């Protein structure tokens, strides 16, 4: 143990003795760690924003939606007798924290100065505390959604409709039997944009969706299940289990299809069946048209990281070779006064390990600082980027676990990079090493 500590001290002193070389390598390690931390922060930030937006605007962690077909060519996003479905869910998903039900639809929102095609989600605002907490209301009062025929829209829709709180708009849609229908709504709240999904989403009381689509009170669009935080990562398994459970309970359940409900109309319309079919999806399915950005980012991160690590590994190995060549006589002397081969090996490994630790700590601190500064700067991203980020502002999420992971990985790689040069140094015969002139 004393030997180990001594080797550690010798390695540290050696680092300080070769300041320029150490500084160069530590800077490189620090840069790679910083970049890794920033890339992780960006992908985690996007992922978190996406989950938040998805589970606020259009999905639970797991959803039980479905389609009801009056005829084989006419389908609506409806769950009939949803209270019975909820009973099955409550009995079989112990991971669930709570559930809400929402109406689903698509309608033309018409104001005096313009119109937009938008998704119409019916909500019971008194039962949606997370929704209220997550949305930032810039005008009006979100609680007014408890009043009949009211509406919440987003800032980007205000630009197109040219409306303000208190103005009336008309929702025009077809019922599930194909009859034209309209409902006049009063805008009661305008919320801050939440990326792409808020461009085409509006919220009305669930009774308004029932009135617009002429639905019975025991129908809804989707039952959204919210899981306890520790189970959120298990959504796919929970959805698969729920699918089986519902089938056993006598429901017709659609095959798994990782797409949002509104992309399934064509498929469902092509199929020759009538009546009710349930569709169990996860939040990832409902935003699958956007999650490719995360996959692209992961691939990009991997490629970038591989290149940077290759550079660092090459740098460390080269530097070690140079150091061994410069310090061959020193190695010979150490061996001559009794240091074993293992000691020499440890010496160089410790040097590399110490550079790794110093570099990753500095890099993690630097990367975190940049991430914090970027978050504080509240940088607004262009519209095109908003669509992918699911937010109008850049958000980077730095977690301790990610920092520790990055630090551990880079330190391990830098230490292992020194393994072969250290092994070669340890194998040098003391006599020839001492007589080396280089």
Partner 1 sequence: MSRIRLSLAAAALLASVALPHVAHALTKPELVEYLKAVDERQKNQGDWRSMIYMEQKEKGKVDVAYEALVFRRSQDQKFIILFTQPKASQGQGYLRIDKNLWFYDPSVGKWERRTERERIGGTNSRRSDFDESRLAEEYDPEDNGEVKLGTYTAQVMTLHGKPDIDLAFPTLKLWVDKESKNILKREEYALSGRLLRTSFYSKWKKIYSESKKGDTWYPGEMRFYDEVEKANSTLIVIKGVDTKALEANQFTKAWLESKSR
Q: Which residues are at the interface with partner 1 (CB under 8 A)? A: 70-74, 110, 114-115, 170, 172, 174-175, 177-183, 214, 266, 269-270
Six token digits for residue 129:
């505390």
Quote the least distance from Cβ 175 to partner 1, whole Å.
7
What is the H or E stretch that residue 193 is in? none
Quote the least distance from Cβ 41 to partner 1, whole Å.
40
Quote the least distance from Cβ 108 to partner 1, whole Å.
8
Six token digits for residue 3:
């030997």
Six token digits for residue 30:
């620090």
Please tell me the number of Cα atoms within 13 Å of 126 on its side-chain side.
Answer: 2
Quote the least distance from Cβ 205 to partner 1, whole Å.
16
d(Cα 233, Cα 248) in Å, to the nearest integer?
A: 25
Six token digits for residue 130:
């997370």
Q: Between residues 110 and 370, which has the closer beta carbon with respect to partner 1?
A: 110
With beta carbons less than 8 A apart as the criterion, state whether 325 and 438 touch: yes
**DSSP-assigned letter for residue 373:** H
Quote the least distance from Cβ 74 to partner 1, whole Å.
6
Quote the least distance from Cβ 186 to partner 1, whole Å.
15
Six token digits for residue 405:
């992971």
Cα 228 to chain centroid distance, Å, stands at 17
Q: Between residues 135 and 161, which has the closer beta carbon with respect to partner 1?
A: 161
Q: Between residues 176 and 415, which has the closer beta carbon with respect to partner 1?
A: 176
Q: Between residues 11 and 268, which has the closer beta carbon with respect to partner 1?
A: 268
Q: Between residues 174 and 259, which has the closer beta carbon with respect to partner 1?
A: 174
Radius of gyration of the chain (CA): 30
Quote the least distance from Cβ 216 to partner 1, whole Å.
15
Q: Between residues 177 and 427, which has the closer beta carbon with respect to partner 1?
A: 177
d(Cα 100, Cα 106) in Å, to the nearest integer?
A: 20
Number of H helices and E strands in the chain, helices first, is 17, 12
Tell me the backbone φ, ψ of residue 135, rounded to 5 degrees.
-75, 140
Q: Between residues 179 and 372, which has the closer beta carbon with respect to partner 1?
A: 179
């Amino acid at each position: 143990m004393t030997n180990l500590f001594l080797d550690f001290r010798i390695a540290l002193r050696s680092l300080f003795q070769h300041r320029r070389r150490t500084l160069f390598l530590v800077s490189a390690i620090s840069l790679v760690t910083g970049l890794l931390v920033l890339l992780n922060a960006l992908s985690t930030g996007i992922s978190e924003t996406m989950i938040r937006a998805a589970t606020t605007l259009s999905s639970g962690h797991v959803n039980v939606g479905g389609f009801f077909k009056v005829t084989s060519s006419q389908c609506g996003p409806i769950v009939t007798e949803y209270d019975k479905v909820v009973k099955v869910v409550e009995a079989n998903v112990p991971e669930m924290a709570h559930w809400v039900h929402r109406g689903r639809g698509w309608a033309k929102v018409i104001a005096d100065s313009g119109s937009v095609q938008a998704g119409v989600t019916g909500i019971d605002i008194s039962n949606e505390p997370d929704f209220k907490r997550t949305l930032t209301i810039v005008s009006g009062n979100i609680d007014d959604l408890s009043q009949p025929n009211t509406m919440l829209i987003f800032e980007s829709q205000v630009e197109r409709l040219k409306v303000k709180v208190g103005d009336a708009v008309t929702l025009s849609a077809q019922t599930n039997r194909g009859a034209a229908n309209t409902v006049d709504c009063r805008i009661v709240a305008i919320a801050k944009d939440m990326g792409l999904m808020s461009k085409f989403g509006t919220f009305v009381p669930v009774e308004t969706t029932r009135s617009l689509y002429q639905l019975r009170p025991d129908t809804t669009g989707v039952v959204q299940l919210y899981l306890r935080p520790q189970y959120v990562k298990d959504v796919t398994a929970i959805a698969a289990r729920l699918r089986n459970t519902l089938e056993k309970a006598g429901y017709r359940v659609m095959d798994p299809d990782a797409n949002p409900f509104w992309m399934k109309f064509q498929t469902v319309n092509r199929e020759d069946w009538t009546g009710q079919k349930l569709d169990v999806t996860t939040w990832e399915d409902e935003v699958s048209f956007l999650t490719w950005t995360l996959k692209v980012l992961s691939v990009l991160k991997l490629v970038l990281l591989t290149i940077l690590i290759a550079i660092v590994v090459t740098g460390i190995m080269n530097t070690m070779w140079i150091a061994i060549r410069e310090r061959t006589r020193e190695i010979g002397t150490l061996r001559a006064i009794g240091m074993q081969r293992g000691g020499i090996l440890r010496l160089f490994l410790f040097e590399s390990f110490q550079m790794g630790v110093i570099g990753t700590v500095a890099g993690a601190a630097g990367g975190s600082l940049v991430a914090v500064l970027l978050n504080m700067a509240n940088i607004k991203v262009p519209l095109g980027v908003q669509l992918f980020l699911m937010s109008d502002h850049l958000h980077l999420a730095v977690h301790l676990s990610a920092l520790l992971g990055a630090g551990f990985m880079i330190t391990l790689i830098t230490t292992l990079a020194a393994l072969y040069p250290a092994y070669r140094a340890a194998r040098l015969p003391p006599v020839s090493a001492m007589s080396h002139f280089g």
